[in-house]
Structure 1
Amino acid sequence: MAKTDFKTIDEYQNTFPAAVQERMQQIRRIIKEMAPEAEEVISYQIPAFRIGKQFLIYYSAYAKHISLSSPWSPALLKEFETELEGLKVSRSAIQLPSDKPLPTTFIKRLITFRKKECEAKK
């Protein structure tokens, strides 16, 4: 991926193969469904969504996974302990392997939880 001055999420996503684009588009649709007020932005040269000044979530694609990113709170990591088993997880990223179906129910719950966290910080 040579270009690193993305202005829109579409510009970012269009640099990937069709299958990866579709997975990212699924995540984008879920975010829009669960947090329609969230604004699409590019931050750190990857897609991000924010509500007001609070960043809801970021996502990015790699050769073998898509990462969902945010500074995860200890409460979030505890809430999703079961769903996170078997995934690579850090304090700021959750890797969703490309060779497994996208866990859409988990992503919906994650967005709902993050939305509540963002609203609590207002």
Structure 2
Amino acid sequence: MGAVDDSLAAMSEPDRSCLQRVVAIARGIAPDAEEGMSYGMPALKLDGKPLIGVVAAARHLSIFPFSPAVVDAVASRLEGHSLSKGTVRFTPDHPVPDDVVEEMVRLRRAEIRK
């Protein structure tokens, strides 16, 4: 296992399942992504650059696409979620829709590979 899988394995439910879903979507879009650490968090990396990171905090879960432009591009589709410059926060009761996760990964992959 790697940094992402190890981190997810240490989480309790339902956080683990929610973040595993995000990682599975990312791996489906970028199967050549590798596990690693970026900015101190477990992340999938593409061409040595961070693609997407996931973290469980005390009161929310977070997706880090490592790009303010990516968050801005999907912000209109994330009503009710807490957003910051490079983070999307959510809860197991109010997850990020799969199509939005897919779009974030596609956009970030395109940034990395431009």
Aligned residue number for residue 67 of structure 2 = 72
Corresponding residue for residue 97 of structure 1 = 91
**Of 28, 42, 45, which residue of structure 2 is paired with 1:47?**
42
Residue aligned with 1:40, SS: strand
In 1, distance between residues paired with 2:73 and 2:61? 21
Percent identity (aligned): 24
Shift of 1:27: 1.1
Residue identity matched to 2:81: L
> Structure 1 residue 105: deviation in Å?
1.3
Q: Which amino acid aligns with 2:8?
A: Q
Deviating 4+ runs (over 4 angstroms): none
> TM-score, normalized by length of structure 2?
0.84
- Deviation track 1:81-116 (CA, whole Å, cap 9, x = no partner) reads 311332111112110222224411110111111111
- Equivalent residue in structure 1 for 2:52, among 9, 34, 57: 57
TM-score normalized with structure 1 length:
0.79
Partner of 1:4: none
- What's the offset of the Cα at 1:58? 0.9
Give structure 1 stretches of 5+ with no counterpart: 1-6
Task: Compute the RMSD of aligned alpha carbons.
Answer: 1.9
Measured in 2, the distance between the counterparts of 1:111 and 1:19 equals 22
Give 2:80's aligned residue.
86
Separation in 2, partners of 1:19, 1:80:
24
Task: State which structure, 1 or 2, has the greater radius of gyration over its C-alpha atoms.
Answer: 1
C-alpha distance in 2 between matches for 1:79 and 1:11: 30
Structure 2 residue 113 is matched with structure 1 residue 119: yes
- Would you say how many aligned residue pairs link Structure 1 and Structure 2? 113
Displacement of 1:45 in angstroms is: 4.1
